Amino acid sequence: MRKFLTSKAGFFSVIVLCFWIKSYIIYQVEFDLGVNNILQQFLLFFNPLNSGLIFLGLALFARGRKAGVWLLSIYTTLNLLLYANVVYYRFNSDFITVPVLTQTGNFGSLGGSIADLVAWHDLFYMVDLILLLVFFIKTKANWSTERLPMRKPLLVLVSGVFLFTVNLGLAEIDRPQLLKRTFDRNYIVKYLGAYNFMIYDAVQSFNSSKQRVLASSDDITEVENYTKRKYAEPNPEYFGKAAGKNIIKIHLESFQSFLIDYRLNGEEVTPFLNSLVHDPDQNFTYFDNFFHQTEQGKTADAELIMDNSLYGLPQGAAFVTRGNNTYQALPAILQQQQGYTSAVLHGDYKSFWNRDEIYKHFGIDHFFDASYYDMADEKVIGYGLKDKPFFEESMPYLESLPQPFYAHLITLTNHHPYNIDEEDATIGPASTGDPSVDRYFQTARYLDESLEQFFNSLKESGLYDDSVIFLYGDHYGVSTNHNRAMEELLGEEITKLKSAELQRVPFMIKIPGVEGGGINHEYAGQMDVMPTLLHLLGIEARDYIQFGTDLFSKEHQDFVPFRNGDFMTEKFSRVDGVYYDTQTKEVIEEPTAEMEELRETIIRELELSDQVLFGDLLRFYSPNKEWTPVDPTQYRYGK
Ligand code: GP9
Ligand code: MN
């Protein structure tokens, strides 16, 4: 045993073991990673091993005792990196990323006093380092001065890579598309460990900066020419009608338009939302041909599109991969043009979808995340706080905001897999035998009830009458994997065209002083919301780079592009490369020149929008003389 321990292989094994155990202890003690099943627990324990073998294994290529020096240096470096994250996490509940390191302003967010964040028990994190050093100095014997035969260190590296592959495979079972969609830094650390996260983050930052470096100020001119050409003049009946009014924006999680007026076993699923659609006294205008335009970024894409009138990226979430870009988002424009205060309220933690970073670039003043709410077990389900307590606890925050405000409330309970506590279910499940689809109606009903409760609170507080209130669905709730169940519920075949039609999500808006327009059949998408709001407030949308057009404008462009290049118009549609007559639903074998042309326009539009994000082009653009670029270092979130 003694002989083994004092050998190179023995010392390597001891150091890997220390690394493994120590990392696991730090994960458990220092980070709040939301581990909620056995597989996640296992992966948290398992993941330091592959990093240990790979990083520390590199030292084995060195000759003789130099290998030991390398082992200790790599071990110390990894320890320091992890410890830096520990300290950062204590204040920010988040991990260090390359963009954070390059933004010196963020160091201020350590609270000015690192001393407060260092704890006495941190000394324990150094004990192993000292012991290993002493151990190494004492064990002079058994270290040949030769290099190990190449195959030995190689074998260690290969086993490390193999274990990493197993690790990633298991993680993807629990969280499909973990790396492609990158939901949350916490998730990557939970599943793959802090060290793999650092590599992942470095690769992502490198890719981002590469595209950014290649872009130049000329690139924005082409984009500007396009968006100015597409621009639709405001409708004088609406322009400026809501100037200075509070804006309350309500996010209906995973809510598709087919739920409106849908009856399950003869019972309305969403009676409250239906009343907004049909009761003229409610003064709402409901757009029944409104589509979501999101991709993998889901909620994050919806947020990006609605506040910037830019498309999400073809892959991943721009919220995460372009979180550090320059934006000219609605909250910042409203602040600069009309002194609005902006806030987002949401019962999940701030790091999800990198919100706590990108919101700073949007100029969002306040972010009331889960840390502001009572997250007691009985109030939480799925991703976070249930919608009823969420709206209830949001009221004081809303009332505390300086007016006029732009407040965005993001609901959560109607989220896949649509779990609901028994006491919250006021309608029975559907009976297709597809469990998540069956429950979808129950969580949608719960959301509907929570909205009614919220509207009542708004009325009591006096905020209701004088505010613009609008609601929107962010993306589909039932994917095409559930077509069989959906066919049973809708009583029709789910063709490819039907799937595209099901991407309708509600958009309904009430504007104080303007009579509700009932049901509006204009074809439109999430992209169109920002220019609509700007014009309602009397702000010229033409100045800004925007791919959507004002919904109330007589010139509103009524084609709805999807992220994959397909589109819908009132007359014809393109779905999965096939053209259809939107009205008769028949396939069009020979597309007309008009169709081909629109297809080209849409591909161009998507490309230009991607260029804006990939090249971070808005840093080269000044919308007007008064515009001041947003300074992200001026914002901080979290309690
Ligand atoms: C999480 C929530 C859900 O905070 O917004 O995001 P989604 O999974 O719908 O993209
Ligand atoms: Mn969502």
Domain boundaries, the chain: 2-213, 235-556
CA angle 156, 158, 160 (to 5 degrees): 70
- CA-CA distances (angstroms) from residue 42 to 94, 159, 266? 22, 19, 46
Paired with 251 in beta bridges are 410, 472
Taking CA atoms only, the protein residue closest to ligand 1 atom 4 is 348
As a whole number of angstroms, the distance between CA 80 and CA 591 comes to 62
As a whole number of angstroms, the distance between CA 218 and CA 232 comes to 24
pLDDT score at 545: 98
pLDDT score at 211: 87
Q: Identify the CATH homologous superfamily for domain 235-556.
A: Alkaline Phosphatase, subunit A (3.40.720.10)
Give me the mean pLDDT over the 144-160 stretch. 86
Q: Is 299 a catalytic residue?
A: yes
Give me the mean pLDDT over the 84-93 stretch. 83
* Given 270, 294, 299, 532, the catalytic residue: 299
Residues 6+ apart with CB under 8 A from 346: 355, 367, 368, 369, 370, 384, 409, 410, 412
pLDDT score at 607: 93
Give me the mean pLDDT over the 415-432 stretch. 96
Q: For the chain, what is the mean pLDDT?
A: 93
Tell me the CA–centroid distance for residue 297 and ligand 2, in Å: 9
DSSP per-residue letters across 319-376: HHHTTTS----HHHHHHHHH--EEEEEESS-TTGGGHHHHHHHHT--EEE-GGGS---
| Three-state helix/strand/coil letters over 488-536 | HHHCCCCCHHHHHHCCECCEEEECCCCCCCEEECCCEEHHHHHHHHHHH
Atom of ligand 1 nearest to the CA of 383: 1
pLDDT score at 111: 44
C-beta separation of 444 from 252 below 8 A: no
Is 365's pLDDT higher than 80? yes
pLDDT score at 191: 95
Residues 6+ apart with CB under 8 A from 398: 248, 343, 345, 405, 407, 461, 463
Residue 182's pLDDT band, with cuts at 50, 70 and 90, is low
Is 233's pLDDT higher than 60? yes
pLDDT score at 183: 66
Is 108's pLDDT higher than 50? no
Is 102's pLDDT higher than 70? no
As a whole number of angstroms, the distance between CA 329 and CA 320 comes to 16
Tell me the CA–centroid distance for residue 299 and ligand 1, in Å: 5
As a whole number of angstroms, the distance between CA 118 and CA 426 comes to 50
| Three-state helix/strand/coil letters over 409-444 | EECCCCCCCCCCCHHHCCCCCCCCCCHHHHHHHHHH
Taking CA atoms only, the protein residue closest to ligand 1 atom 3 is 299
Is 631's pLDDT higher than 50? yes
Give me the mean pLDDT over the 581-591 stretch. 96
In single-letter form, the type of residue at position 317 comes to A
Hey, is 623 helix, strand or coil?
A: coil
Q: Output the six-digit token pair for 131.
A: 């012991």
Atom of ligand 1 nearest to the CA of 349: 4
pLDDT score at 173: 92
Give me the mean pLDDT over the 431-456 stretch. 97
Residues 45-85 have pLDDT tens digits of 999 999 999 999 999 998 888 899 999 999 999 999 999 99
pTM for this one?
0.83
Give me the mean pLDDT over the 462-476 stretch. 97
Residues 479-509 have pLDDT tens digits of 888 999 999 999 999 999 999 999 999 999 9
Percent of the chain at pLDDT exceeding 70: 96
Tell me the CA–centroid distance for residue 150 and ligand 1, in Å: 48
The least confident of 103-117, 223-237, 275-289, 557-571 is: 103-117
Residue 159's pLDDT band, with cuts at 50, 70 and 90, is very high
Give me the mean pLDDT over the 378-392 stretch. 96
pLDDT score at 34: 83
Is 3's pLDDT higher than 80? no
As a whole number of angstroms, the distance between CA 494 and CA 585 comes to 12
